[in-house]
Amino acid sequence: MKKRIQIQGMSCMHCVKHVTNALTDIEGVSNVVVNLKQNDATIEVVDTVDNISLIEAIIEAGYKAVKVEII
């Protein structure tokens, strides 16, 4: 399943790497693409990965997850 997460607070490529690493560290998450220009991340996840885990990882990385949607 693919999901898109709108993220606030990213301002540079270091932020992109930080968010990418935070999401990649979640078991069941693969193919993470973070887009600085669109302030979002597109990820592939297994069904057992819930939105709360994704949001918490982004918050712990220092950013704000605004919206999570299935695409």
3-state secondary structure of 47: coil
Q: Which pLDDT score is estimated for 25?
A: 97
CA pair distance 38, 41, nearest whole angstrom: 9
- Rounded to the nearest 5 percent, the helix, strand and coil shares of the chain are 30, 40, 30
Q: Which pLDDT score is estimated for 63?
A: 98
| Domain containing residue 18: CATH number | 3.30.70.100
Q: pLDDT (tens digit, 9 = 90+) per residue, 12-25?
A: 999 999 999 999 99
Cα 57 to chain centroid, rounded: 8
The count of structural domains within the chain is 1
Q: Which range of residues forms the domain containing residue 26?
A: 2-70
Q: pLDDT (tens digit, 9 = 90+) per residue, 6-60?
A: 999 999 999 999 999 999 999 999 999 999 999 999 999 999 999 999 999 999 9
With a CB cutoff of 8 Å and minimum separation 6, the contacts of 16 are 10, 34, 36
